[in-house]
Amino acid sequence: MPSINELYGWLLDIYPDPVEGVILWFLDEDGIQRHRLHQPFPTSFYVHGPSSNLRSLWRYLKSLPEPLQLSRAEKQDLFVEKPLSVLKIMTETPPAQERLFNQLKRSFPGLVYYNADISVDLRYAAQTGVFPLARCRVLATDEGEIKTLETLDSPWAIDSPQVPLLVMALSPDSNPDHREPISLKVHLQGRHYTFPFRDERGLLIKLQALLRRYDPDLLLTVWGDNWLIDKLHQLMEKHHITLSLNREKGLGVERREERFYHSYGGVIYRGPQARLFGRIHISTENTVMYHDYGLEGVYEMARVTSLRIQTAARVSPGTGISSMQILTALRQDLLVPWHKQQVEWSKSAYNLLQSDRGGLVFQPTVGLHANVAEIDFISMYPSIMEHFNISPETVGKSSKNSTFVPELELNIDQDQRGLVPDTLQPLLEKRIRLKQELAGMDPRDARWHPFQARSSAHKWLLVTCFGYLGYKNARFGRIEAHEAVTAYGREALLQAKEAAEELGFRVLHMYVDGLWVQKEGASQIADFQPLLEEILDRTGLPISLDGIYRWIAFLSSRPDPRVPVANRYFGLFKNGTWKVRGIEVRRDDTSKWVKKVQREMLDLLAKAPDAGQLVDQLPRIHALLQTRLSALRQRKIPLEELLISQKISRSLEEFKVPSPAAKAAAQLAAIDKNLIPGQRVRFLYTRGKPGVFAWDLEERPDPKIVDIDRYAELLCRAAYTILQPLGVEERTLRWWMFTNAGYGAPPGFLPDSCSQETPLLGDYSWTMHHLDPVFFSAH
Amino acid sequence: MELITLPHTPSLQLLIAPSDFQRKASLQFIAELAQTGPVRVLDGGNRFDVLALNRELRRRELLLYTALEHIQVARAFTCYQMTTLLEEPAPQGIPTLVLNLLATFQDENASLPERLRLLGICLHSLIKNARHAPVLVVLHPQSDEEPFLVRIRENADRVWVFESLYPATQLTLL
Amino acid sequence: MGRTVASITQTFLKERAAFARFRRALRSSDQQVLDDLFASAQKHLAAASYASHALPFETFLLAMLLEEHKEVVRLRQEITELRHALHQ
């Protein structure tokens, strides 16, 4: 009898094996040793259909040489009242199941398949409760076969310890899309190495030596998915040197093709993928939201979704949420449909008119406002799903305690807990607990950063789970559930507005799940507390005070100043932090230089002790603009800071009148650097035709061709965004910026040097200046 | 050439027309049918423009909200959903309009043979429904939909094809 | 998932565009005033969306009236204040 070893450690990776079933890699508790263990993992799926078809399937399966276990079972499909009679097919290993299903779906397309396309990480998680980076106790034989696995962690614990993963960072010195890299930078255990690509053999040998010596758990690359891993492979083949990229011997790199798709009106590009076995590969430019939450956020995505770390890093939050729902279904022994089958119920045209709508987006009261509180429903849509038990199988079902959705003719069953709320509940609770912890935490606390990252990861999952509910291919989606959520959302926002107005607040703006309110004399947290409690009381949904602004400016539309824009504002919180939306500094297509100057303008405004004294900063802003413009004219701005980066919205042939981005992309296409829609192109504005210079051409541009006037104009627009709420008119600003005039006078004074035609500040700003410190716009 | 008329007797009819025309025509059909009784609309491509329909109803001086209650709409967003929708038994005698039947069959998530198989089921259901009620399928054919279109045409009792009355290009002043 | 019912903003833009010929034939000074009317309707798109009236243009007309009346109330107030100041 083989002896049994006990191991305490963290789960690193899990993947299927055609012989051994499933392979699991663990890092042991001391953080030193890695263990490759395996376990037989018979895998089942289910088929439903007319009994004659099932019988012929049975006969077919019996004729196959593979060892299969066939049986009849009664299983629950979430969307069917009574349990279904299904054929259960069990294969010896997960790969055998995948192969068989691919064969059956072609040979027997008319049957309904369940649990057929579920990845092994989710299947294993459903059976054992384990998840990536979970601390486990494992009993295994000397041969490495797992006999018992016990999970000692919960993905919902907020204070899970940092797992001491050994990370090896690999970054080429330039973006290969733009320029062939010259060297590879390696960072590991606090040491830095640089290997030139020129010395191909040397690079391979040194890299292999590092891999052998340190055996890193995670390769953190830049452009690894779309370039580096392939490049290393080419070099390996050329020089017959093997790099141990995988820990699993004999396996290659798992590749997925690049693709692009349309989502919410934009084109999303997903690069190709290169995944490893036993070692984790994360390619930062291809990791969704990496810039937002970093590695810690990736780990958190893996913990809460139970997807392999490498998968969790690369999937969209929609797939993350879907995986969590599949896991809930598997644990409740519910069938997981391969295809979504259920369709929208037929409804009257009148009902369609009522239900096919989104959240309420109001137009703010344009202008500058002091002492404004921003109040947000915490994760509004997920909270609604959780609170009102909204799930595809609970909507439209009347029971003893069903509730009636406002505006819609729709019941929601409250007797049975829905799959979607059941999945969301722990995630919501964890997020709220993290937020509470963070609210009272010093940012220097070591837990602050990981808590932030985890909270960001949850935010993305929660934001997506609502859209996913209405997604056409969502297995556990239903359009009526989606519509019920928005209906409750509108109701909650209007209830909040009514509560605010009844308590004497003025509502300046409302946006789907948040409202901005103001009241004479209210400027401290305690002043807004009764309102929060009232809203919680009326709606039952968690709500929080996002902050109190010292002042906030809501902006109007650029083409038509009469029209307010919902999501274009900037405000300074009392604690000195900014919240800025929709203006140049937040936009991806603004040059660094313009962003920098706009940021400097905001910094100057932040110096004003209150809204009434903002105008006193105008002379300094005027001087700043003059200095920056003169630096631009003297060509002292590095070209990198003038780069504009824009997404290509469609393929080049589709442009009738090419945009500057399209012209730049065409320049690149001429030297065989082809960009596809969704990718970004970087360029400079230049004088004459064609007006742009693509930055990633082989040659460097002559700095003299830069179109200075164009950049001055861009700066003028960015400056106007900031100054407009202070009452500065565009023509005044132009006069300040482009006529070389001194500031000389407060707004509204007529300097001696200018004639009547000279643009001046409007009267409006003058009266504003003499009003009390609290500014109200004309309403 | 003939002007298209509304199907009133059980039959499967097909209207092939450019997007603009079929949009207008189907709204007029729906409005006219809703005037006298219930009508069923199956929408395969987010084509059911209820606000334009409202204007059409008002133009006919109809009781707007009564007419809107007469119209039952169900939408399909995938070819699987379209198949399921059509498989649901149609209420006896109530006319059905199927808008943009083929839009959901553009889905690249399903293979071509799979989509053709599903279309077969759809056709079978359409023919079955057309025994008890008028069914009008409205299509705006795309070039790559030929194999689908052929199979629908073969099965329709009557096919209406849009013919342009005017020269395709606008005359300009000299 | 594609929306079937046009959003309130789309509807508004469409309704406004439907008056393009009317607008074109107006004097430039009247065009400005017409634009003001549409801009005032645009301020209440959220309420119009919530109302989801079968004929949204009726809601837009009401929103224009609302803004007009708001202005009347404001002007009345101002006249009262001015009168008051004059008589002091």
pLDDT along chain A (779 residues), means of 10: 87 96 94 94 96 93 94 93 94 96 92 95 96 96 95 91 92 87 94 95 95 95 92 93 91 79 56 90 86 89 96 87 95 91 81 86 93 94 95 90 88 94 95 87 86 90 86 86 94 96 96 94 94 96 92 91 90 92 92 96 94 91 93 93 89 79 89 82 91 88 91 95 91 84 50 35 34 31
Q: Looking at the partner chain, which of A360, A470, A472 has a beta carbon nearest the beta carbon of C49?
A: A360
Is pLDDT above 90 for B145?
no
Say which residue, B145 or A5, is predicted with more confidence.
A5
Average predicted confidence (pLDDT) for chain B? 83
pLDDT at A771: 30
Could you identify the residue written with the tokens 């007529």?
A: A750
Q: Which amino acid is at A99?
A: R
Can you tell me which residue has the tokens 């707007």? Answer: B64
* Among candidates A343, A352, A472 on the partner chain, residue whose Cβ is nearest the Cβ of B50: A352
Q: How many percent of chain B have pLDDT more than 70? A: 90
pLDDT of residue C1: 44
**pTM of the full predicted structure?**
0.84
C54: which chain B residues are within 8 Å (Cβ-Cβ)? Answer: 50-51, 54, 64-65, 68
DSSP β-bridge partners for residue A514: A376, A511
Closest of A747, A778, A773 to residue A370, by C-alpha = A773
Contact partners for chain B, using 3 or more CB pairs closer than 8 A, are: A, C
Q: How many other C-beta atoms lie within 10 A of the C-beta of residue C87? A: 6
As for how many domains chain B has, the answer is 1
Domains of chain A: 354-582 (3.90.1600.10), 583-635+709-779 (no CATH), 641-705 (3.40.1820.20)
pLDDT tens for residues B122-140? 999 999 989 888 999 988 7
CA separation (Å) from B108 to A670, B49, B52, B83? 31, 26, 31, 16
Distance (Å) from the C-alpha of residue C4 to the closest C-alpha of chain B?
5
C-alpha Rg value of chain C to the nearest Å: 17
The CA angle A632-A615-A572, to the nearest 5 degrees, is 85
**What's the domain range around B85?**
11-132
Report the alpha-carbon distance of residue A52 to residue A184 in Å, rounded: 62
The two tokens of residue A715 are 């700066």
Q: Of the candidates C44, C45, C52, which has its C-beta nearest A353's C-beta? A: C52
Q: Helix A448-469 crosses helix A317-331 at what angle (to 10 degrees)?
A: 80
CB spacing of C54 vs A352 below 8 angstroms: no
Q: Which pLDDT belongs to residue A266? A: 53
**Please, which chains are in contact with C (at least 3 CB pairs closer than 8 A)?**
A, B
Measured between alpha carbons, how far is A209 from A206 in angstroms, rounded to an integer? 5
pLDDT at A297: 92
Label residue B165 by pLDDT band (50, 70, 90): low
Q: Does A563 touch chain C (CB under 8 A)?
A: yes
CATH classification at residue B94: 3.40.50.300
**Angle C58-C63-C64 from CA coordinates, rounded to 5°:** 100
Q: Is the pLDDT of residue B109 over 80?
A: no
Torsion angles phi and psi, residue A156, rounded to 5? -100, 0
- H or E segment to which residue C42 belongs: helix C28-42
Residue type, A316: S
- What is the spatial distance between Cα A681 and Cα A686, in angstroms, rounded to a whole number? 15
With respect to residue B100, please indicate whether it lies within any of the assigned structural domains.
Answer: yes
- Beta bridge partners, A579, equal A571
Q: In A400-558, which ranges are continuous DSSP H helix? A: 419-439, 448-469, 479-502, 525-539
Q: Point out which residues pair with A87 in neighbouring strands.
A: A47, A72
* The predicted structure's pLDDT at residue A510: 95
Average the pLDDT over C77-88 and give the result. 93
Asked if residue B29 is part of any domain, the answer here is yes
Q: Which residues of C touch A471 (CB under 8 A)?
A: 1
Q: Tell me whether B62 touches chain C (CB under 8 Å).
A: no
Q: Do A363 and C4 touch (CB under 8 A)?
A: no
Chain B: give the shortest CA distance to residue A240, in Å. Answer: 40
Tokens of A150: 């016990």
Residues A738 and A360: their CA atoms lie apart, in Å, by 42
Sign of CA dihedral A728, A734, A735, A736: positive
**How far does the CA of residue A339 sit from the closest CA of chain B (Å)?**
8
Pairing of strands A21-28, A34-39: antiparallel
Instruction: Let me know: does A192 contact A171? Beta carbons within 8 Å.
Output: no
pLDDT number for residue A211: 95
Residue B57 lies in a domain: yes
CA A31 → CA A9, A14, A165, A212, A295, distances in Å? 8, 18, 8, 17, 18
pLDDT band at B49 (very low <50, low <70, confident <90, very high): confident
- Range 30-49 of B in CB contact (< 8 A) with C: 43, 46-49
Name every chain C residue with its beta carbon within 8 A of the beta carbon of A354. 52
Query: CA triplet A579, A581, A508: central angle to 5 degrees?
Result: 80
> Could you tell me if residue B144 is inside a domain?
no
First to last CA, chain C: 65
Distance CA A10, CA A21 (A): 20
Tens of pLDDT, residue by residue over C12-67, are: 999 999 999 999 999 999 999 999 999 999 999 999 999 988 899 999 999 999 99
What is the arithmetic mean of pLDDT over B35-39? Answer: 88
Task: For chain C, give the percent of residues with pLDDT over 70.
Answer: 98
C-alpha to C-alpha distance for A659 and A685, rounded to whole angstroms: 12
Q: How far apart are CA A440 and CA A453, in angstroms?
A: 16
Alpha helices per DSSP H over A512-563 = 525-539
